[in-house]
Amino acid sequence: MRYEPVATEKLFWSFVRNRKLGGFKFKRQVLIGPYIADFVCLEKKLVVELDGKLHDGRMAYDAARDNFIRREGFRVLRFANNEFLNDAGIVLATIRHELETPSPQPSPPLRGGEGGLRESPSPSRSGGEGRVRGRT
């Protein structure tokens, strides 16, 4: 685990610590399975990742990591450091919107006698493939 955050992470932390972003509590450097998430709002099960040069060429690793974290019940938002530095307001608004959007709840299991098939829940906006304005 890193004890000294990079400059971008320090700046981001200054915007979200002490419930500054919509009253939601964030923690930094949170262990989720074998991975360390940059920032996590446990209440809303939201992970925010800020990616620097270290992530260049590691798309397959990041995708596998994000899939694991999603299977643990979290939503994942991933932003490039320069995306945050160039427009922190948009990034923070995107995160706040995600925090204020209800998490999709899993369908309750079928009980005996109910019969029929239940539709699978539609994937969440942040769970789609590819990168869409800071989301993975």
Please report whether residue 31 resides in a domain.
Answer: yes
Please report whether residue 109 resides in a domain.
Answer: no
Please report whether residue 135 resides in a domain.
Answer: no
Please report whether residue 134 resides in a domain.
Answer: no
**How is the chain classified by DSSP, letter by letter?**
--SS--HHHHHHHHHHGGGTTTT---EEEEEETTEEEEEEETTTTEEEEEE-GGGTT-HHHHHHHHHHHHHTT-EEEEEEHHHHHH-HHHHHHHHHHHHHSPPPPPPPPPPTT--S--PPPPPPGGGSSS-BTTB-
| CATH code where residue 69 lies | 3.40.960.10
How many domains does the chain divide into?
1
pLDDT tens digits for 55-70? 566 888 999 999 999 9
Please report whether residue 2 resides in a domain.
Answer: no
pTM, to two decimals: 0.72
Please report whether residue 15 resides in a domain.
Answer: yes
In the chain, the percentage of residues whose pLDDT exceeds 70 is 68
